Amino acid sequence: MRIISGKNKGRRITAPSNLPVRPTTDMAKESLFNILRNHFELDEISALDLFTGTGNIAYELASRGCRQVTAVDNDARCIKFVKQTISLLNYHQITAIQSDYSSFLKRSGIKWDLIFADPPYQMEAVEEIPRAVWDLDLLNAGGWLVVEHDRHHDFPGHPGFFDHRKYGKVNFSFFRKGEAE
């Protein structure tokens, strides 16, 4: 994986092969960040990278100047790698937390401008992620939730859903919290 833009543009990061991850492809990540860049001033937002895995999205956000990034994953090996990479790249704005997503969301008490969720494609109840974010009121006004998923999930009936994009086998569904919600 590589960092596409920002202060570490072009930097390659090699994760251990024993991590249980499926990093977002560079093509899909570049397309996603083109969309995000047109909506957000990334250096002015706080973000949550849920199911962070290797930290791929968190590093891209930090490289582009995101002021605060929380990276959450249930796997201790992933969090260990993310913490090592945070130190290596001097990304002090990233906080890595080992926790399952549901427990973390319920106890976080924080609102973000952007939440990126990339659950394992085989995970059951992926559609519960947008519901949890809405029920727990975890987005700031105008904030977005982006869920990466396979082709078997469909979100148009969920609150805040406004777009779907497909890049190869990668699908992104976008949800937006209105200004007056």
Q: At 83, which CATH number?
A: 3.40.50.150
Q: Is residue 42 part of a domain?
A: yes
Looking at residue 124, what is its pLDDT?
85
Range of the structural domain that residue 165 is part of? 27-176
Q: Is residue 144 part of a domain?
A: yes
Q: Is residue 163 part of a domain?
A: yes
Q: Is residue 15 part of a domain?
A: no
Looking at residue 51, what is its pLDDT?
97
Sheet holding 139-149, edge to edge: 94-98, 68-73, 46-50, 112-117, 139-149, 170-176, 161-167
Distance CA 47, CA 116 (A): 8
Distance CA 49, CA 16 (A): 19
- Which residue in 21, 8, 92 sits closest to 54, CA to CA? 21
Looking at residue 42, what is its pLDDT?
95
Name the pTM for this structure: 0.94
Q: Is residue 20 part of a domain?
A: no
Q: Is residue 48 part of a domain?
A: yes
Instruction: Please report the sign of the dihedral spanned by the C-alpha atoms of residue 90, residue 93, residue 98, residue 101.
Output: negative
Distance CA 105, CA 111 (A): 10
Distance CA 33, CA 28 (A): 9
Q: What are the residue ranges in the chain where pLDDT is below 70?
A: 179-181
β-sheet bridge partners, residue 96: 71
**127-180: per-residue pLDDT in tens?**
899 999 999 999 999 999 999 998 888 887 888 999 999 998 899 999 999 865
Q: Is residue 116 part of a domain?
A: yes
Q: Is residue 45 part of a domain?
A: yes
Number of structural domains (the chain) is: 1
DSSP class of residue 24 equals P
Looking at residue 35, what is its pLDDT?
96
